[in-house]
Amino acid sequence: MTFRLSSAAALIALLFSSCASDSGVSVISKSRATSYSGSSFMQRAEVYTTAQPCPTLAQKAVDKPKDKHGMAFYKPSERTRLVRTTAYTCTEDDHLEYGSMNAAGTPLRYTDRVRSAAADWAVYPVGTVFRIKGMNQLFVVDDYGSALTGTNTVDIYTPCKAHMGAWGRRQVELTVVQWGSYARSAEILSKRTHHAHCAQMYAAINRLTSGRTTATAAR
């Protein structure tokens, strides 16, 4: 389920090549996968249109374990799920020290094809790629946040506070296109365990991966 890629560009290239058959999109270059920085783009009003989730998703989530927001946790095999989403931007007080960089050490992305997202890496490991019903863009988990730890919430990166407010908080139908890497997530987090939320994610990933190793050995 996990995979290792040498760069963000390789991730996007692999994604578009593997999804071309059902998405109708082509591989984009590294230069086109970088964030927009032009003032005309930043000033353009953004309207985020998402489609209503399938009603059966809520029904299927009733008996699942829930996070503190009452949202269901899913098995990795359940790629389409009902997810609570929020939005953030790099000019928020708790992100100022990181600027336009994400937790993976690469620039945050916001293009017409690929956008960054933050999540608990024990739920959505770094490099996870997903779609949101009603939107054309692909989202890549390359960031995390202390408020997300222990939850199923996904935080969508936006380029400014006006865009962040336009997204607000909404429940969406999210489909995982390709899972990221728990090994890469653990490697990054292992160097940051002096932060409580990083230590929590690191411990959760170790429990998950050790449990799978034990189950495989028992077969």
Q: DSSP string covering 98-115, please?
A: TTTB-TTSSB--B-SSEE
Dihedral sign, Cα of residue 171, residue 140, residue 111, residue 93: positive
Looking at residue 100, its pLDDT comes to: 85
Please tell me the predicted confidence (pLDDT) of residue 46: 80
In the chain, domain spans? 51-180
Q: How confident is the model at residue 12 (pLDDT cuts 50, 70, 90)?
A: very low
CATH of domain 51-180: 2.40.40.10
Task: Please give the pLDDT value at position 62.
Answer: 94
pTM above 0.85, yes or no: no
pLDDT band at 16 (very low <50, low <70, confident <90, very high): very low
Inter-residue contact 183 to 4 (CB < 8 Å): yes
pLDDT at 49 over 60: yes
Q: What pLDDT score was predicted for residue 93?
A: 65
Say if residue 56's pLDDT is above 70.
yes
